[in-house]
A and B are shown apart, each in its own frame.
Chain A
Amino acid sequence: VSQSKSSAEIQGVTVFALGSFNPPIFQPFWFSKNNLIREEEARDAVVTIITNEVTQFTADWLSVLVTKERFTVETKDPTMHLPLRDVAAGTFGVLEHTPIRGFAFSRFQHFRLPSEDDWHNFGDYFAPKQGWTGIFPKSGLRTLVMQDHRGADKPFNYKTVRLEPSALVQFGVFVQMTEHHDPLAATENPDNRLNEFIDALQSSWDRFLADVDDCSKHLLTVYKTAPSK
């Protein structure tokens, strides 16, 4: 499993679904009652808010945020990637008539680079400064988002990768990959989308996590190939 080999200092994985939701349903004990999390986890959950508009809580390793349009589950515990998938799939196994329009998987990682020089070289490699020296004498990469091409053969619509200096790890970089499964057109059947969502969780989750690891590994290696200044 891809989560395994990462040397990220901090990381998290998120499952998003777009659709039409009823936030007050998604309470900690609803998850434990439906055998999605342990009862102890539900009992000790820290609830931020539960209203008709939004529910937000954290139950040990699991964070849940649901609004009327968006469902989000996340874990920052690298040992809980598979249970997170089970929670997302299980939720909509129970709520099987929920209209889902689109969904996305996202994973972020903070890596510490070996030195401050590496940190600068990383930024310079992906955002060369030549084009900016006339405007900003001392510039640096803050955010870079790359998007791949769509391909009919892919089980998703497109991917984005975001690079930033880490706000949490000194001389670290933040890498986030998101795999987007676009919202349906209004005329399409949302029931099919729900099935696609659950199928993707069951069949593509490991592949997605492995893709992120491959991407990070590539990014953290390729910048070293730049000729030294």
Chain B
Amino acid sequence: MTAIANIQASGLSSSHNLGQIGVNAYSTSGGWTYKLDGTWTYLPNGVVPYSTIGASQISESCESVPLADWQFVKLPDVDVFKAVTVSPEIENVVAFVESGQQQDMTIPERPSKVIRRDGRRFEVLQQWEGIVTDLEGDVFVAILRDLTDRTSDDEIAEIFLAEVPDADHPILKEGSAFYWIIGFEYKRGGQKSRVSEIRVRRTPEWTIQKIERVKKRAAERFQRARPNG
């Protein structure tokens, strides 16, 4: 297939040094990864000759995508570079900028293979499970259970509603459970950011019939657990 990595870069100008740029190509079997990197210079004609790109291989058996098969092209009028190659073995490419202010972007020709959070590196410092006890205006109050250190006592916290993603606002109400996670996120370029994420816990609606079945099951278990059960 033809694999295309679009590399988003902002504010390009002639002879703009893009810094380190890499393209990883993953094989269909997941058995190898091929990496191109080097210092790119944007030329006035918009073409970045591949001869300026260094190549390195991460695993041993990746010679099937030789460096010369990659073409790097600046698209007209937009700050996007295309890295293109053709190989029956390539399933997915991920392009990234290792330094500078450019952002990375991946658009393989077969978008079904994109997993946006692939490779997300996150070091969790603290995690809680919370139950909303009160919701008023732009804040809510919650009881927090420490999932990082289960010996800790529960805590009560007042949290700004703005901390919760908009998509979860409709289901955030008294009694809602949520996960709150704080940690460091590591970007591909090595940038480390402190991140706080709240996600309201989602569970299917309980029907009357289901509640009855669960009650029955609990009663059976209770019966079995009794000494003479």
Q: A residues touching B (Cβ–Cβ < 8 Å)?
A: 1, 3-10, 34-41, 46-49, 56-58, 60-61, 63, 75-80, 82-83, 86-87, 90, 93-94, 96, 167-170, 195, 206
Q: Is the CB of A168 within 8 A of B125?
A: no
For chain B, give the interface size range. 35 or more
Contact of B210 among A40, A79, A96, A206 (CB under 8 A): A96
Separation of A96 and B129 alpha carbons in the complex (Å): 26
Name A74's closest neighbour in chain B (CB-CB).
B115
Give the chain A neighbours of B147 by CB distance below 8 A. 1, 4, 206
Q: Is the CB of A167 within 8 A of B33?
A: yes
Give the 8 A-B residue pairs with the shortest CB-CB distance, closest first: A4-B124, A48-B112, A77-B117, A1-B147, A38-B167, A78-B122, A34-B204, A94-B204
Question: Interface readout for B98-134 with A: 1 if CB under 8 Å, 0 if not?
Answer: 0000000000000111111111111111110100000
Q: Is the CB of A35 within 8 A of B127?
A: no
Name B58's closest neighbour in chain A (CB-CB).
A170
Q: Is the CB of B168 within 8 A of A83?
A: no
B223 at the interface (CB under 8 A from A): no
Give the chain B neighbours of A37 by CB distance below 8 A. 202
Name A47's closest neighbour in chain B (CB-CB).
B112
Chain B proximity of A201: nearest CB distance (Å): 12
B194 at the interface (CB under 8 A from A): no
Give the chain B neighbours of A56 by CB distance below 8 A. 112
Q: B residues touching A (Cβ–Cβ < 8 Å)?
A: 30-33, 58-59, 111-127, 129, 147-148, 165, 167-168, 171, 179, 181, 183, 197, 199, 201-205, 210, 213, 217
Q: Is the CB of A76 within 8 A of B120?
A: yes
Separation of A106 and B152 alpha carbons in the complex (Å): 28
Q: Is the CB of B204 within 8 A of A78?
A: no
Give the chain A neighbours of B33 by CB distance below 8 A. 167-168
Q: Is the CB of A82 within 8 A of B32?
A: no
Give the chain A neighbours of B30 by CB distance below 8 A. 167
Sample of 5 further A-B pairs with CB below 8 A, known A46-B111, A49-B112, A57-B112: A4-B183, A76-B115, A76-B117, A76-B120, A168-B33
Name B213's closest neighbour in chain A (CB-CB).
A96
Separation of A87 and B181 alpha carbons in the complex (Å): 18
Contact of A4 among B31, B112, B125 (CB under 8 A): B125
Q: Is the CB of B120 within 8 A of A77?
A: yes
Contact of A86 among B114, B167, B202 (CB under 8 A): B202
Chain B proximity of A126: nearest CB distance (Å): 19
Contacts A38-B167, A82-B179; is A90 near B204 (CB within 8 Å)? yes
Chain B proximity of A4: nearest CB distance (Å): 4
Name B124's closest neighbour in chain A (CB-CB).
A4
Pairs A–B under 8 Å by Cβ, sample size 15? A5-B124, A6-B123, A35-B205, A36-B203, A46-B112, A76-B120, A77-B117, A82-B129, A82-B201, A83-B179, A83-B201, A96-B213, A167-B30, A167-B59, A168-B119
Separation of A35 and B181 alpha carbons in the complex (Å): 21
Chain B proximity of A92: nearest CB distance (Å): 10
Chain A proximity of B87: nearest CB distance (Å): 17
Q: Is the CB of A58 within 8 A of B202?
A: no
